[in-house]
């Protein structure tokens, strides 16, 4: 049989220092564990908050894009309607006043040709 007893007598100061050191190590480990647990909880909470904010930003971006598309669609439809009304008025005017319409078209064409020829002449001189 093996005897595990030390040949030296036990020193109460050494024993007390060893116990105090073991208590300090255990206390430090508990403190580190608690700190890491709180840190992990804070990270989880921050992750949840970031996910919530990202989802909210995504929803707001989608809503803003949809409003933009709706506004563009409405504007486009308004322009189409205005162009259709102008076309209808022009057709009605031509039907009601064919001679005046032809004279206005001829005068407009002549004015455009005069402007084009003045612009072309100015470029050739430069």
Give the pLDDT confidence of 35-93 residue by residue, as tens digits: 999 999 999 999 999 999 999 999 999 999 999 999 999 999 999 999 999 999 999 99
Other beta carbons within 10 Å of 101: 15
Reported pTM: 0.44
């Amino acid at each position: 049989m093996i005897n595990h007893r030390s040949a030296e007598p036990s020193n109460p100061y050494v024993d007390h220092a060893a116990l105090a050191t073991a208590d300090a190590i255990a206390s430090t480990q508990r403190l580190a564990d608690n700190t890491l647990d709180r840190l992990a909880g804070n990270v989880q909470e921050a992750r949840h908050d970031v996910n919530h904010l990202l989802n909210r930003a995504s929803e707001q971006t989608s809503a803003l894009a949809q409003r933009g598309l709706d506004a563009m669609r409405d504007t486009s439809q308004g322009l189409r309607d205005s162009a259709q009304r102008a076309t209808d008025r022009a057709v009605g005017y031509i039907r009601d006043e064919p001679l005046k319409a032809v004279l206005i078209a001829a005068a407009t064409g002549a004015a455009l040709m005069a402007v084009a020829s003045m612009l072309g002449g100015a470029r050739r001189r430069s």
